[in-house]
Amino acid sequence: MKSEKKLDIARSEFIKSFNSLVGILRMNGLSRKVSLGLTLMALIGGRASIRNTSITFGLNYANLLKALEDLENTWRDYLETLRKVIVGPVVVIIDDTFDHKPYSRIEGIASKHGNYFAWCSTHKRFEPGIQVLTIALYDLATGKSHLVGAFPYATRKMWESGMVSEFKTKIEMAAEIIETLKGLFPVCRVVFDSWYWSEKLVGGGVVSELKSNRRLLRVRPLEGTLGVEGHPHVGDLPPGSYLADLTLGDQVITIKLLILVYKDNRLNLYTTDLNLRDEEIERTWKIRWEIEKLHRDVKALDMQDSSFLKRQRFHGYLLLFVMVVNTVRDLISSLNLRSVEEFLRFVEIRLGGALGLMKMFKLR
DSSP string for 63-118: HHHHHHHT-TTHHHHHHHHHHTT--S-EEEEEEEEEEE-TT----TTB-SSS-EEE
Per-residue confidence (pLDDT) for residue 113, from 0 to 100: 47
* Cα(251)–Cα(235) distance, integer angstroms: 22
DSSP strand pairing (90-100 vs 125-139) = antiparallel
Each as own residue / partner, the long-range contacts of residues 259-262 (CB below 8 Å, 24 or more positions apart, any chain) are: 259/234
Per-residue confidence (pLDDT) for residue 95, from 0 to 100: 94
CA 290 to the chain's CA centroid: 10
- 10-residue mean pLDDT profile of the chain (364 residues): values are 79 94 91 94 84 92 91 89 92 86 52 55 69 92 93 73 71 93 96 92 94 91 67 89 92 95 89 96 94 88 74 86 93 92 93 92 81
Each as own residue / partner, the long-range contacts of residues 80-85 (CB below 8 Å, 24 or more positions apart, any chain) are: 80/184, 81/20, 81/24, 82/137, 82/146, 82/148, 82/185, 82/326, 83/184, 83/185, 85/146
* Cα(168)–Cα(159) distance, integer angstroms: 9
Per-residue confidence (pLDDT) for residue 161, from 0 to 100: 67
* Cα(77)–Cα(157) distance, integer angstroms: 34
The size of the chain, in residues, is 364
Per-residue confidence (pLDDT) for residue 109, from 0 to 100: 47
* Cα(208)–Cα(288) distance, integer angstroms: 9
